[in-house]
Homo-oligomer: A and B are copies of this chain.
């Protein structure tokens, strides 16, 4: 047994007791009736950090739920790791599908069962205990800061402003987050990329009223026909995106990283079966893992116009609408893509109709290069504890706050998650395996060591 394994063995009953104390606070951020619980959770975190050895820790106000900040600065010349996590949890409905009370955690089958067991109370608690270990054993190799927010599950509406207002306080060399999954307990992984997003609403207007499709059909542009034609012209036959310059700034992923990404186990038949399709579909020349990880996509999220009732009403409608979205990859700026789409749709619109494009929403993509010191440190730490080299994973989804950290705090985030797909986060019977929990506590100090030595090189 290593030194840290001994420490965990010695203290694990207390660890679980403290974690259960945190979990038993029903800190559901989306529900106003739990407003006071958010303060309870923030105070709980403050005490956890102080007990673990923080120089200072405090509950700070935002326009929404509070944030807990704590730090231990051992030497300003050394690197600083900022641990980001969240204390809030998702709602628990439908309650009748839970086997046990969501806020009364229990251990069963070597797993912790409760809301927040993984997301993110279980995962974030590993950082508190790894920090405690390093302080108590006087092995903390660098400075550390903790930023624990209370609004992650509702989209972090106030954290960007908080970061802008506290840039100096949050100054660090890397942000370390455990709020994602790994491929399996046998195959650790590090999430190195998140896609960005652009989202538009398009309105195509034709005649000033719905027309009789017999008297006018064939002589007047039908807004639905035209909208379909314009949407079709957004993609090529090979299923790539047909908008000129759309790929101009797309990050080229190295052959080495593509090779590693594709090493991730992928059961195509199981994947198809789970979503009920006979055949996958996407940009030619790329695997499914690449299509969702390193390539942008174009999806119509909604479309409507004309008659949608029962039967056969003939009409040449006045208007047609669609909600369009693109997932973006590193290199693409969502605002530029927002304007590009608007320009393109206007440029291909026939003069027989008018098009109005509204940019509704967007967010930047994020990537942590696999040659970054933080990636290398995480890779080495995970290899040490799991005995297998972790694989880089690009997630198709978006975590907007990670791109915001890069934009505001100008620092990379390393997504070293210890959860599993089977942990049922956001669902009834959320759970977190004790194996992952303890392995996480073991891995974190190794990351601190490797990052400090690599970064200082």
Contacts and interface: CB of A to CB of B under 8 A. Distances in A.
Contacts of A325: 213, 217, 312, 314
A303 B300 contact: no
Contacts of A307: 301-302, 323
A7 interface: no
Contacts of A283: 218
Interface stretch (A52-60, A68-76, A203-211): A203-211
A282 interface: yes
Contacts of A217: 292, 297, 299, 325, 327, 396
A307 B213 CA distance: 27
A158 interface: no
Contacts of A308: 302-304, 321, 323
B277 A327 contact: no
Contacts of A208: 275-277
Contacts of A302: 224, 305-308, 313, 315, 317
One complex includes copies of this chain to the number of: 2
Q: Most chain-B Cβ atoms within 10 A of its Cβ — which of A218, A275, A279?
A: A218
Contact of A281 (B306, B315, B350, B395): B350
Interface residues of A, number: 78
Contacts of A213: 297, 299, 301, 325, 327
A281 B207 CA distance: 11
Contact of A219 (B199, B220, B288, B305): B288
Q: Most chain-B Cβ atoms within 10 A of its Cβ — which of A217, A221, A276, A317?
A: A217
A292 B316 CA distance: 13
Interface string A407-451: 000000000000000000000000000000000000000000000
Given A215-B292, A305-B303, A306-B301, A279 B327 contact: no
Interface in A258-306: 275-283, 288, 291-292, 295-306
A222 B282 CA distance: 10
A300 B311 contact: no
A228 interface: yes
Contacts of A220: 275, 277, 280-282
27 contacts: A197-B314, A211-B275, A214-B397, A214-B398, A218-B292, A218-B295, A219-B280, A219-B281, A219-B282, A219-B291, A220-B275, A221-B280, A228-B228, A228-B229, A228-B231, A231-B232, A279-B350, A300-B306, A301-B313, A301-B315, A302-B306, A302-B307, A303-B304, A303-B305, A303-B308, A303-B320, A312-B361
Given A208-B276, A225-B231, A302-B306, 7 more contacts: A206-B277, A213-B325, A218-B396, A225-B235, A228-B303, A313-B323, A314-B325
Pick the 10 closest A-B CB pairs, nearest first. A208-B276, A218-B297, A214-B397, A302-B306, A221-B281, A232-B232, A281-B352, A312-B361, A217-B297, A224-B300
